[in-house]
C-alpha cells in the first residue's frame, strides 16, 4: 500500500511482502530525485516572477479584472417556483418578510420569457423596476435582474420581434443607472462601481445590436397585406393598440398611408386608452371644426399612461396570500372569487408596505 511521509511532496512508498517479511520500496512512477525536484521548483518560481514583472498591472486594474470576472459569473441557482407565499409580517408560524427581490428571484421568470403570452408582461415589469425599484433589490436579485435582461435581449435578437419595447427598456435602465452610479457612496447599488460600469457598457452594446437588426423580407410568393381589400386592411388596423404601429404601417406604401389617416381609427385608439374626462381636457379642432383624433392621441400619450392589457399575468390569491402564474393549491371554497390578476404595477405595489 502507498505510504506518504511527513512531507506531502515526497514521492511515497510501497510495502512489498517478501520471503524475509515486509519491505519498503519506492514506486517506480514516483521516483523523483531531490535535485530534479528542486530544479523544477526553481523554474516555476522564476517563471512566476517573470510573469508578474511582465504584466505590470496596477492595483486598480487588477481589481477591475476581478470585478469583471465576478460579474460574468452567473448566479449559481435560482428558484423556479410556480407560486410563492407572500407574508407581510412575522407570526408564530412564520418569521420574516417576503420582499420584491425575493419574489423576483423565486418566481419562474425565465420560463415566462419564452412564453409569448407573458413576454410583454415581464418586459413591462423589468421597466418599472428599472425606473424606481432597482435600489430596493438585494445583490442577488440585482444580479438575477441583469441575467434575465440578457436573456430577454438575446430572445429579441434571435426572433427579431418586439424590438421597440426592449429599446425603451434599455434606455430607461441606462438612464436610471447613470444617476444611481453617481450615488454609489450612499449604498444605492450593491457591488463595486466597476461592476456596474461594465454592466452599463453591456447595455450600450445591446442597444447597438438592436439598432443593427435588419429584418429580411420573406420570400413568400403568396398574397401579402397590400393585396387585401381595403375593408380587410382597416379591420386589421383596428386590432392594433399602439398608434406608433399605425404610423409604421402607413409608411409601407401610399395606399396604406391613406388608410392609416382614417379618423375613426384614431378615435377608437383614444377611447380605448384614455377616459372621457382626459379626452375633454385635450380637445384639438381642425380648421374645418373637426376633432384631430390623431394629434389628440399623441398629445394624450405624453400626458397620461396607456391602458395595459396582457394575455397572461401573475395572479394573487387573497385567501391563501399566494402569488402564482397559473394555478396554486387554494384552500378556499370558491377560488375564483378570491383570485385577482395583477398588472406589473400591482405586482410592485404588493410589496410596498
pLDDT, tens only, 159-183: 888 898 999 999 999 999 988 887 6
CA distance 13 to 2: 5
pLDDT, tens only, 286-295: 878 888 999 9
Average of per-residue pLDDT across 145-162: 91
Output the DSSP codes for 275-300.
Answer: -HHHHHHT--B-TTS-B-HHHHHHHH
Average of per-residue pLDDT across 126-134: 91
Mean residue pLDDT of the chain comes to 78
pLDDT of residue 353: 60
C-alpha cell at 82: 410556480
pLDDT of residue 152: 93
Average of per-residue pLDDT across 134-140: 87
**pLDDT band for position 1 (50/70/90)?**
very low
pLDDT of residue 88: 64
pLDDT, tens only, 276-288: 999 988 888 887 8
Sketch the domain layout of the chain as residue ranges. 83-212, 242-302
Average of per-residue pLDDT across 144-162: 91
307 in Cβ contact with 319 (< 8 Å): no
pLDDT, tens only, 195-211: 888 999 999 999 999 99
Output the DSSP codes for 296-321.
Answer: HHHHHHHHSPPPP--SS-EEEETTTT
> Does pLDDT of 307 surpass 50?
yes
> Does pLDDT of 231 surpass 80?
yes
> Does pLDDT of 139 surpass 90?
no
C-alpha cell at 211: 439598432
CA distance 230 to 127: 37
C-alpha cell at 146: 441583469
176 in Cβ contact with 130 (< 8 Å): yes
**pLDDT band for position 79 (50/70/90)?**
low
Average of per-residue pLDDT across 207-222: 80
> Does pLDDT of 263 surpass 50?
yes
pLDDT, tens only, 20-41: 777 776 544 444 444 554 554 4
**pLDDT band for position 76 (50/70/90)?**
very low
Better pLDDT: 168 or 327: 168
3-state secondary structure of 342: strand
pLDDT of residue 38: 52
Better pLDDT: 218 or 122: 122
> Does pLDDT of 310 surpass 80?
yes
174 in Cβ contact with 196 (< 8 Å): no
3-state secondary structure of 268: helix
Average of per-residue pLDDT across 76-94: 66
**pLDDT band for position 59 (50/70/90)?**
very low
With 0.85 as the threshold, say if the pTM is over it. Answer: no
Amino acid at each position: 500500500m502507498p505510504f506518504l511521509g511527513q512531507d506531502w511532496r515526497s514521492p511515497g512508498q510501497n510495502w512489498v511482502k517478501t520471503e524475509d517479511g515486509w519491505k519498503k520500496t519506492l514506486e517506480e512512477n514516483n521516483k523523483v530525485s531531490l535535485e530534479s525536484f528542486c530544479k523544477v521548483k526553481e523554474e516555476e518560481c522564476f517563471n512566476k516572477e517573470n510573469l508578474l514583472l511582465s504584466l505590470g498591472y496596477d492595483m486598480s486594474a487588477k481589481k477591475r479584472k476581478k470585478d469583471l470576472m465576478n460579474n460574468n459569473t452567473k448566479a449559481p441557482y435560482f428558484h423556479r417556483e410556480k407560486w410563492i407565499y407572500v407574508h407581510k409580517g412575522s407570526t408564530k408560524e412564520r418569521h420574516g418578510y417576503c420582499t420584491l427581490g425575493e419574489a423576483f428571484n423565486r418566481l419562474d421568470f425565465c420560463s415566462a420569457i419564452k412564453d409569448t403570452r407573458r413576454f410583454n408582461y415581464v418586459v413591462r415589469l423589468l421597466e418599472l423596476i428599472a425606473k424606481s425599484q432597482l435600489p430596493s433589490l438585494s445583490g442577488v436579485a440585482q444580479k438575477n435582474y441583469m441575467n434575465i435582461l440578457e436573456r430577454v435581449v438575446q430572445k429579441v435578437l434571435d426572433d427579431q420581434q418586439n424590438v421597440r419595447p426592449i429599446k425603451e427598456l434599455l434606455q430607461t435602465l441606462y438612464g436610471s443607472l447613470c444617476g444611481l452610479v453617481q450615488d454609489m457612496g450612499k449604498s444605492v447599488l450593491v457591488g463595486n462601481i466597476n461592476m456596474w460600469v461594465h454592466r452599463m457598457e453591456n447595455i450600450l452594446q445591446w442597444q447597438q445590436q438592436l439598432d443593427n437588426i435588419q429584418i429580411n423580407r420573406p420570400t413568400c410568393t403568396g398574397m401579402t397585406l397590400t393585396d387585401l381589400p381595403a375593408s380587410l386592411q382597416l379591420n386589421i388596423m383596428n386590432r392594433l393598440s399602439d398608434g406608433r404601429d399605425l404610423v409604421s404601417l402607413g409608411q409601407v406604401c401610399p395606399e396604406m398611408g391613406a388608410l392609416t389617416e382614417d379618423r375613426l381609427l384614431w378615435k377608437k385608439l383614444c377611447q380605448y386608452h384614455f377616459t372621457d374626462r382626459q379626452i375633454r381636457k385635450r380637445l384639438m379642432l381642425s380648421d374645418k371644426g373637426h376633432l384631430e383624433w390623431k394629434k389628440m392621441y399623441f398629445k394624450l400619450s405624453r400626458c397620461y399612461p396607456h391602458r395595459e392589457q396582457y394575455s397572461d399575468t401573475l395572479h394573487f390569491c387573497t385567501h391563501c396570500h399566494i402569488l402564482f402564474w397559473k394555478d396554486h393549491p387554494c384552500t378556499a371554497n370558491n377560488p375564483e372569487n378570491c383570485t385577482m390578476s395583477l398588472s406589473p404595477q400591482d405586482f410592485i405595489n404588493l410589496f410596498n408596505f
